[in-house]
Amino acid sequence: MGKITCLEEGFAEVQTLVSCCPKLENFALKKLQKLVKELELKVKICKEWEELKIKEHELKEKIELKKEILDLKVHKELEEIKCKKEAYEAHLHEELEEFKEKAELIGHAINPIEKIKCGFQEFKIHFEEKKEYYEKLAECHKPKFLIFSDCDSRVDPCKILNLELGEAIVVRNVGCLVAAYGQEGTCPSAHAAIEYAVKELQVEHILVIGHTKCDAIQSLMKAHHEEKSHFSEHFSNWLKIGEHTCKQVKEVHSSKSFEEQCTVCEKECVNLSMHNLLTYPFVKEAVAAKKISIHAGYYDMHNCAFDRWSLDFNYTESEKFH
């Protein structure tokens, strides 16, 4: 209303001047134009002021919104940092536990009696966890497997195949060799184990496991490469079980490297042991009656791989577990 009143007063003043002195009409017109311009300027200023107030309000809203978004982002980042921290702490804890285990192993290497003690204590914890199973096992011995394996400390068949106590009769010897029926001499320990497992315990599967880098097979191959062995006569006599197989490998695979020949011989000696098992009348009879199946295995300790085959097909067509 103030703006309109000011304009009305200006018009009244102009009309008074014109009525008093007509000659002042031009002057009055200029004054009127000046008043109009002033009014337009005031209106413009008022409009801009209103726009500024609106923009100020919008800006405040945007600032509040950005602040909320920033708070959420900071909260999210703090949660992520917290999660990463917890994961890192868990990882450090695992590494610490692993370091402790290694430290214990080093200590046990120095103190073997402590290793035996701690090892049994660990087993006893496992025993208590599966007490019912072990109590039943103490009353009944019914293993499903008879396993022949090398005596190499790196090749424990129960560890490799994750077998529990009571699941397998295990016979371990140098080279994982099984002598043919009647060829063990006056102390046929393998014969006794086979007879006990097949006749008494009535196992369902016999498994012969060879492995990579077998020292016994390498020693046998070196003998055929005319390298003198540092082992005793007893050791050499035992390895004679695989002597003919080793000779055949050398003849058939003469173009291969020594390492490759050893790998072939390791597998062929497993085949030899499988076939020698069939020379035991009670094994042959059980296989014919389909009461027992004979399998071969080959453990690659470098790549943690396991090949399985049987009497029915060759190791070149083996089933591979990786």
| Binding site feature residues | 152, 211, 214
For residue 125, the SS3 value is helix
Question: How far is CA 132 from each of CA 123, 173, 242, rounded to the nearest angstrom?
Answer: 15, 33, 44
Nearest of 179, 258, 186 to residue 224 by alpha carbon: 258
Straight-line distance from the first to the last Cα atom of the chain, in angstroms, rounded to the nearest whole number: 93
Q: Are 176 and 148 in contact (CB under 8 A)?
A: yes
Rounded to the nearest angstrom, the gap between the alpha carbon of residue 278 and the centroid of all alpha carbons in its chain is 40
Q: Are 210 and 149 in contact (CB under 8 A)?
A: no
Binding positions for Zn(2+) are 152, 211, 214
